[in-house]
Amino acid sequence: MDKTYNVAVVGAMGLVGGEMIKTLEKRNFPVAQLHPLDIAANVDKEVLFKGKPVKVKEACKENFKGIDIAIFSAGATASLALAPEAVEMGAIVVDNSSAWRMHEECPLVVPEVNPEDLDWHKGIIANPNCSTIQMVVVLKPIHDESKIKRIVVSTYQAAAGAGKKGIDALYNESEAYLKTKEIQKSEVFQYQIGFNAIPHIDVFQDGGYTKEENKMIFETKKIMGSQDIQVTATCVRIPVAIGHSESVNVETEGKITRARAQEILSDAPSVILKDDPSTNTYPMAIYCEDVDETMVGRIREDSSIENGLNFWIVSNNVRKGAALNAVQIAETLIKRKLV
């Protein structure tokens, strides 16, 4: 009989936590018992797993006893407190927050890009930022063809990046604006998200970059295994419910033609090539609601430099940008016999 594992999902009642549970079921992850964990206020609520209700327990140290894999989506503060306790109780933690991503003893992993980094984990593995994940899935095969020297990325990020409350804010503000034409003060974002684009995600840091932009800069270097790649980012929240879009410009050491880039990406793992200008075929957020793969199109050579390429990259930020990548990390741990 194939081995099965006791799996905890921390933050089970949240948008991403719920998607993690659905993903475990959809991918037939070898779950012996599912343990949904959350804050005390959600204890005894139920989640559905394989058609059966499972009661939520409190996310606390004693409830990690007997857990093999704990997948966290409970925010950085909870992760900093609970992840070491889960490890102490014998679990391997896959954490979706920003808490452990740049910790030198924690691998930061996208399974299609750097699965080998799992081999040196010490109990906690970090799931990268959603925008970083979809970008490196596309860029790693390009980097393998000819080393990338520089990346310029602008993101157009969905309201779901702020969780269910972000989606609710988008719908409620848009509805109110259509009725009254009055600008609403958002309770979730810095400004109204309905009919607006906000060039501000997370807090501002030194140099004028936001924390979200710095995540993309530093995480990309760590995942790609190269501190020599120069990265600059601008992150924008737009009035889309689910699905992050990115305009990405790269400079490579050697020449890669548009045709060659298309050829490379047509064979890349977890990538869908949608790139035919003659039929207006390109990725859009409306295509990614039920799609696990990352889509890429609008591939063209940058006429302003010798070895440049432009890409338009779209992915479901709740799935590949969070829940799916975390479950894939757990699958890869099993495949590499690390759990």
Element (H, E) at 141: helix 130-145
d(CA 180, CA 210): 32
Q: Which residues are CB-contacts of 210 (< 8 A; sequence separation ≥ 6)?
A: 200, 201, 202, 203, 204, 235
Amino acid at 84: P
Amino acid at 124: I
Degrees, nearest 5: CA angle 125-4-74: 35
Q: Of 148, 150, 114, 153, which Cα lies nearest the Cα of 256?
A: 148
Instruction: Assess whether 60 carries a catalytic annotation.
Output: no
Q: Of residues 106, 121, 130, 143, which has the active-site annotation? A: 130
3-state SS class at 317:
coil
Both tokens of residue 263? 């050829």
Both tokens of residue 6? 């006791």
Determine whether 132 is exposed, middle or buried from the number of CB atoms within 10 Å of its CB (0-12, 13-18, 19+): buried
Instruction: Assess whether 244 carries a catalytic annotation.
Output: yes
Q: Of residues 121, 235, 244, 288, which has the active-site annotation? A: 244
- Catalytic residues, by residue number, are 130, 244
